[in-house]
Every structure is written in structure tokens, then in C-alpha cells.
Amino acid sequence: MPAALKSFFHWFVYAGLVVFAGGLMLLGKADTILIERLRLKVDDVAVPVLEVLSEPADALARVLEGAQRWINVADENARLREERERLLRWQAIAQRLEVENAGLRQLLKVVPEPQATYRSARVVADSTGVFAQSVLISAGSLAGIERGQNVLTGEGLVGRIVGVSARASRVLLITDLNSRVPVFVGPSNVRAVLAGDNSERPKLVHIVPGAAIEPGDLVVTSGIAGGFPPGLPVGSIDKVDDEVVTVTPNIDRNRLEYVRIADYGMDFLKVDAPLATKEERPSQAAGNNLGGESAQRTDARR
């Protein structure tokens, strides 16, 4: 290769790298709302494609699971019979306690709690990585999904809705670094906050000094601060050290397939207000300025 051509090639590569780096810097300083909207649009388009691509793998997994179940059918039947007997005993106890509870509520004239409505959706993508833990589900605003709604499975709390497009929604898992869930711990209902740290064992923070917490204690939502209703199962205490208390969540992120989105009909639970658009910001700033000027005039008159 001639020296002149080689020098031109090197110059072209360097110039391309500089342009690429500049583009990354501009992208990093781009409006976050625009990026979020673009991301939701991409999610909206990607969900149908991901559903189609995942069908063959899901079908094969169901076939293999069915074959394995038939192999162990005898042991499974024995276990189910034993479990049925145990559940029947608990059913009798639960029915008696339900009657007793209803009588006490009527005696105390307790206001009934709102009944939740549920929508089911399929997990179509897992965006979990080193810096974020979230999943994409196949239901959006067209299905009545809104930001701030709780996401559950039969085992317990999965997370909450943080982004909604027409046909898809993004769920922030309770293990994410940005997740904070007020909880009660153990039979003494010790108050704490479950703080995600992008690991499989989130930590408890803001614990009262000297609180009685033991490994195996159950962790449920407390309902404090309005983000989650009380009593949702979260997990159990994994380890208690002098400075760190870790929790094992009830849900297994690697086995999430279908989830339920709960709507309790209470607006204060929807803590995630939509971000202001560019058009709204000037009007808000003007309103704040007017409010400040009014306050100054009032003080001057006084």
C-alpha cells in the first residue's frame, strides 16, 4: 500500500472515531424524555416479534416438561394426595377463622378494603443486566395498564410498572437498584425498607436499632408511603449480620413466564406521575414565576 494511501486511511479511521465519540456524547446529553419515548416505541414493536420467536422454544419446553412429569407420575400422585389432605385441614381452619373475622369486622364496623382487579400478561423479554433489572410484558395502555401498578405472581411481589406503551409495559423488579419497598418483617412487624442492589439478595435498610429479626422471618409489604398495599408477600430473611440484613425474594426472576398486574382502584398507589413534556415545562415555569411574584407582592404589602 502506498504511503500516501496508508496515511489517508489512518486519517479516515481517526476522523471516524472522533465523529463516533462525538455522536455518543451528544446522545448522552439528549433529552431523556425523547429517549424514553423512543425506547417505549421500540418495545411496542418488539413485543409481537419476541412473542413469535419464543413460541417454538416454549412448545419444546412444555413437551419436555410433560415427558418428565409422566416419568415421575407415581411419586407426584403420592405427594399430591398428601398435600390434598394437608390443605383440607387448613381449609377447615381457614373457614372457621373467616367466619370469626367477619363477625369481628362487623362488630367493629371496619371499612372493607378495596378489591383489586387483575390483568394477566406474558413476560416476553428480560432486560436484566449489571446496571438494571427489569422485564418487558405483553400488555400496555390498551389493556388498561398504568404506571405505578403492582406486578405479582402466585409467589408474591415481582415489582411495579415504570413504563407503558400501547401494547407493552416495562416492570421494575424489586431487586433493581432503584427499587424501594416499605415492608414489615417477622411476627413483630418490624418496619424496614427493602432496597434493591441488582443482586439476587436485596438488603433491608432503615431498620430500628435492636429490632428482633431472625433468618426465616417473613417479609411482606407494609403499605406505608402508598406505593404498595399492605400484606403482599415479598420474601424471607436470608441472613442477619451486624450491619447487613439480606432477603430471599419469593419470586425467581429466571422462571418468570406470566404475571398479574393488580389495580387496586386507589390513585395514591400510582406514585409514578408521567414526566412533563417539553411543551409543559415552560408553562410550569411560568406558573412558578407567577406564584413567586405574587408571594413577593404580598410580602411587600405587609
> What percent of the chain is modeled with pLDDT above 90?
38
Q: Using one digit for the tens of pLDDT, what is the confidence trace for 232-273?
A: 999 999 999 877 999 999 998 888 999 999 988 766 555 544
Residue-wise over 13-39: b if at least 16 C-beta within 10 A, else e? eeeeeeeeeeeeeeeeeeeeeeeeeee
pLDDT of 3 over the 70 cut: no
DSSP codes of every residue in the chain: --HHHHHHHHHHHHHHHHHHHHHHHHHHTS-HHHHHHHHHHHHHHHHHHHHHHHHHHHHHHHHHHHHHHHHTHHHHHHHHHHHHHHHHHHHHHHHHHHHHHHHHHHHHTPPPPPPPEEEEEEEEEE---SS--EEEES--GGGT--TT-EEE-SSSEEEEEEEE-SS-EEEEETTSTT-EEEEEETTTTEEEEEE--SSSS-EEESPPTT----TT-EEEE--TTSSS-TT-EEEEEEEE-SS-EEEEESS-GGG--EEEEEE-S-GGG---PPPPPTTHHHHHHHHHHHHHHHHHHHHHH-
Give the predicted TM-score (pTM) of the model: 0.59
**Which domains, and CATH codes, for the chain?**
180-250 (2.40.10.350)
Q: Using one digit for the tens of pLDDT, what is the confidence trace for 174-220?
A: 999 999 999 999 988 999 999 999 999 999 999 988 888 999 999 99
What is the rounded distance in angstroms from the CA atom of residue 130 to the CA atom of residue 177?
Answer: 10
Q: Using one digit for the tens of pLDDT, what is the confidence trace for 121-157?
A: 999 988 777 678 999 999 999 999 999 999 999 899 9
Tell me what pLDDT residue 30 has. 60
